[in-house]
Amino acid sequence: MSTALATPASAQSALAMLETRGLGARYGHVEALHPTDLQVGEGELVAVLGPNGAGKSTLLRAILGLVTNFGSVHLRGQPLPRLDPVAVAARGVVLVPEGRGIFGPMSVAENLELGAYRLRDRLEFQRRWERVLELFPRLKERLSQVAGSMSGGEQQMLAIGRALMAGPTVLLLDEPSLGLAPRVTEEILATLGRLNAEGLSIILVEQKAPLALELANRAYLLSVGRIVATLDPREITSYDELAQHYFT
């Protein structure tokens, strides 16, 4: 089966909302992510798949500048600062981390407000606030509740909502289905699909590959810190075909 890009590389680079060029990362002397070229087009949802330890989370952390890295990351053709995650987030590249990363002792409302802590435009704040509560009605019912007392699914909704309050240009999600019931996973992934259909560029790291491929325009497969295949989800016709990419 072909692993060609859905769009030719030259055209894809010209259209890229976010692009990595030879991006790699180290933990001490260990190179956990080898030089990686990845592109996400405007309004595109790209999945990053691979087994545990493949380097998927490291890739997202390297894009944000959260780990020692080399190479470069470009947003709309302009280089992003290296090793400065606050500046990268201010440019609109926002991460929903694995494990959610919410502030458990604080209320749902306070967590959401923190997502927009840099925003001074009250009208824009209100617009984002209403949008998040429209996407996740359960959060509206729990604004005064301590965030750490909510279910895992509700906490994941809060983590995504907080990221949306930051006004992302590119949303990075690290294992949003981790530890969630299938019904809740489907609900959250459907919301991500809706956001993408409205034009938000998304990089989705996800263990549940079949679910991710249902949403993705393209998918990168990582293994031992390297991109080993670029998949067109339309060409994946069975779980067996997908498994072949994991084990070859």
Angle in degrees, CA 185, 60, 74, rounded to 5? 125
Q: What distances in angstroms separate CA 129 from CA 163, 168, 170, 208, one per listed residue?
A: 11, 14, 18, 30
Q: Global pTM?
A: 0.90
**pLDDT tens across 163-187, in order?**
999 999 999 999 999 999 999 999 9
Question: Residue 242 above 50 pLDDT?
Answer: yes
- Retrieve residue 59's tokens: 């890739």
**pLDDT tens across 15-66, in order?**
699 999 999 999 999 999 999 999 999 999 999 999 999 999 999 999 999 9
Q: What is the CATH number of domain 9-92+168-247?
A: 3.40.50.300
Residue range(s) occupied by CATH 3.40.50.300 in the chain = 9-92+168-247
